[in-house]
Structure 1
Amino acid sequence: MMALFITCVLPVYADELEEHQRQLQDVSRKINQNEQLLKQKKQEEQSIMGQIRTIEQNIANTEKELNSLSERIAILKDSIAKVEEEIAEAEKELAKKNDLLSERLEYIYKQGEVSYLEVLLSATDIKDFLTRYDMLNMIVEQDIELIESINREKNDLKMRKSDLEVKRKELEQIQSNQESAKKLLDSQKEQKQKILADVSKERKAYEAAIAELEKASAQLEAMIRQLQSGGTAVGTGVLTWPTPGFKTITSPYGMRWHPILQERRMHTGVDIGAPMSASIVAADSGTVIFAGWMSANGNTTVIDHGGGISTVYAHQSKFLVKKGDVVVKGQEIGKVGSTGWSTGPHLHFEVRVNGNHTNPMSYIK
């Protein structure tokens, strides 16, 4: 693309220049479309980084949840193990009491109520009778307590088993949640890597475009040198202000934060704030060596003033001169616009010495 830019720039007065100029404008417009797309990508970068920050926060939250679930699982497993031990111990104790109760019931069945009566009637006196009676009551009460104890332990065992079942179901649910959280975490990490890869890819394309623009600037210098070699400019060497009535410099010459590229870049001219369609005049007398579309500069006019000095007028909305025209100092040559890489109507004004950019304010009186 940039090689075509060079081959399209021929001496000012060559017969083929018109056709090559048309080709240059077509290619430049295509370059500008790509630059606009890169501009949009750059603006989207903050949103993308915001997405990454959100994903990273989600990852942190998910990892925190996983840690919490792991702790809960460990606690539940420990609790389940203890309950299982308690149930096993309770079942052993219950089995012993059941065996004892079975023995008592078997004895009572075999002896019957007569046995108790015989014990009482075999007393030697009243005192012995009462003693035997108390002992028999004790035995009966112990039997009743044994039965009640067995029933209590059966109910308690039932509750413990029910609680154990609840804990096991809770454990299954938490383990399921943990598995889901792990899958979510993997998905979030994969999403983050994809976004980072996309950003990296777009960044490389963006950097390639910037390199192309830098080449375009170098070729502009070469074009000016080449076209100046065949011109008949008659400049005074003293420049006038290019936008009569509008002298506010919105961005000076030198390093600055680029409003489109969102990074520090060399600003090769000055930006003069002016309304749409305000007049642009020739800063000095000379010959128009370029009037057309120039990539990021949009509609641009270049005037050769002789002595290696030329001026550049970018982002115009309308041309009032064409290549080859001889203009006089102060003559209207175009209208202020916002074409190319521009955030609003203004004139980007440059002074070039032998094709190299320099501070325009050093030449304006």
Structure 2
Amino acid sequence: MAKKNKEPKKITKKLLNKYRLVILNEDTFEERISFKLNRLNVFVMVTITGIVLVAGTTFLIAFTPLREYIPGYSSTSLNLKATQLATTTDSLESVININQEYYKSIKKVLTGDVKTVEFDIDSAIQSQKLNPEEVDLAPSEQDIKLREEVSKEDKYSLFESEKSSTDFSLFPPVKGNITSGYNVNEKHYGVDVAVPKDTPVKAASSGTVIFAEWTAETGHVIILKHNNNLLTVYKHNASLTKQQGEQVKSGEVIATAGSTGELSTGPHLHFELWRDGFPTDPLNFIDFEQ
């Protein structure tokens, strides 16, 4: 029993035995620095130093930009920029596709290809935000009843579905004599109104200019988009006073009448009225006579 008690005491004594670490000048043997140490102090110091080094290295890797210099770690800023660029590229691609389809539909209006002008930019933008797999396309009972009621109404009334917009009206863009009327069979989807050159051409209703360019066949052309899915087209103008993207009010001057384009034979305004991608006879809604 006495031997067993002596062994722990020997271990404790060894740990607490004091030593002196002396640093001497090699030439003069002059003592420069000395430290009093024991084995326990050295063990504690080495342990604390190791913990501090491990904690410091972990902090540098996890919370500072220095980790970017360690092989295998990518730059946080580069990852963020790459994500932002990918999102922006996807959004721009969607916008470009929508605009291309919309410009194609406007081209169809200008060329008179009525069968393919069924594109609506608002619907296209909305479709980009919806997941078709999540949309329930099955008609409800209310939807079926509504369709039956609509089918019994006047299918060709321009404003029948807009009963709430009782204040809506179309302003005569010009006043003059009708020289050529609306004729679908001849692909003449508007009316020609004879007017003196440089007669002010006014907007038939408030809206947005979606096209204002020169075309070889119809000269200076301007197209306005209005509420209720309406488009008004003004062709053969001498000049345009509005640009694409501008907002105009009903009766505001948007061009001056002329005789530009290969298809024009004299000063006049060719005016077209489109609803949901299909042409409508403007004489049913506007009085052009002086």
**Bin of the TM-score, shorter chain as denominator length:** 0.3 to 0.5
Give the TM-score of the pair, scaled to structure 1. Answer: 0.36
Give the TM-score of the pair, scaled to structure 2. Answer: 0.44
Identify, as 1 or 2, the structure richer in helix.
Answer: 1
| Largest Rg, 1 or 2 | 1
Higher relative CO (CA 8 A, sep ≥ 6), structure 1 or 2?
1
